[in-house]
Amino acid sequence: MKVRPRSLAGQLLALLMLAVLLAHVVGVVMLSRWRSPTEIHPLSARAIETHVASAYIAATDLGGRADRVLAALSQPDSLLRTVPAAPAEPHPMDAQEQAMADRLRQRTGLAAGRVRVQLHAADAAVPLAPPSLDADPALDTGHLLDLHLQLPDGRWLHSRQRPLMLQAHWKRVLAFSIPVGLLPVMLIAVLFARRIMRPLHALTVAARRFSRGEQGAPITPEGPSDIRELADSFNDMQYRLTRFVKDRMRMVASIGHDLRTPLTSLRIRAEFIDDPSLRQDIVSTVDEMTSLVEQTLQFAKDDAHQEPTREVDLAGLIAQVVAHHRAIGAPVDSRIAGPLRYRCRPVHLRRALDNLVGNAARHCRTRVEVSMDRAAGDIRIRVADDGPGIPPALLGQAFEPFVSLDPARSRKGGGGGLGLAIARSSIHAHGGEVTLDNRDEGGLVATVRLPA
Question: Along the chain (452 residues), what's the average pLDDT of each consecutive run of 10 residues?
Answer: 63 75 71 65 86 89 80 83 85 87 90 88 58 48 84 89 72 66 74 78 80 73 80 85 72 70 80 82 80 66 63 88 88 82 86 88 76 77 86 79 54 56 83 87 87 78
Distance of alpha carbon 138 from alpha carbon 389, whole angstroms: 80
Looking at the DSSP bridge assignments, the partners of residue 370 are: 334, 383
Q: CA gyration radius for the chain?
A: 45
* pLDDT score of 149: 92
Q: Domain 306-451 belongs to what architecture?
A: 2-Layer Sandwich (3.30)
418 contacts: CB under 8 Å, gap ≥ 6: 295, 296, 298, 299, 401, 402
CATH of domain 240-301: 1.10.287.130
Cα 204 to chain centroid, rounded: 13
The helices-and-strands tally (H runs, E runs) of the chain is: 10, 11
147 contacts: CB under 8 Å, gap ≥ 6: 48, 52, 100, 104, 115, 116, 117, 118, 157, 158, 159, 160, 161
Q: Is 122 helix (H, G, I), strand (E, B) or coil?
A: coil
Instruction: With beta carbons less than 8 A apart as the criterion, state whether 135 and 151 touch.
Output: no
H helices of 212-303, in order, are: 225-270, 276-301
Quick count: other Cβ atoms within 10 Å of Cβ 355?
Answer: 22
Distance of alpha carbon 76 from alpha carbon 130, whole angstroms: 8
Half-sphere exposure of 80 (CA within 13 A, CB side): 22
N-term to C-term CA, the chain: 25
Distance of alpha carbon 382 from alpha carbon 370, whole angstroms: 6
List b or e across 158-179, with b for residues whose CB sees 16 or more CB atoms inside 10 angstroms: bbbbbbbbbbbbbbeeeeeebe
* pLDDT score of 366: 62
- CA angle 266–270–272, rounded 5-degree value: 130
Distance of alpha carbon 401 from alpha carbon 421, whole angstroms: 6
* pLDDT score of 410: 43
Looking at the DSSP bridge assignments, the partners of residue 343 are: 311
Looking at the DSSP bridge assignments, the partners of residue 447 are: 382, 435
Distance of alpha carbon 264 from alpha carbon 206, whole angstroms: 45
Looking at the DSSP bridge assignments, the partners of residue 369 are: 333, 384
Cα 156 to chain centroid, rounded: 70
Q: Are strands 368-375 and 332-336 parallel, antiparallel or unpaired?
A: parallel
* Per-domain boundaries in the chain: 42-164, 240-301, 306-451
Instruction: With beta carbons less than 8 A apart as the criterion, state whether 279 and 270 touch.
Output: yes
Quick count: other Cβ atoms within 10 Å of Cβ 308?
Answer: 9
* pLDDT score of 304: 45
Distance of alpha carbon 344 from alpha carbon 313, whole angstroms: 10
Instruction: With beta carbons less than 8 A apart as the criterion, state whether 345 and 213 touch.
Output: yes
Task: Tell me: cis bond preceding 392? Omega within 30 of 0 counts.
Answer: no
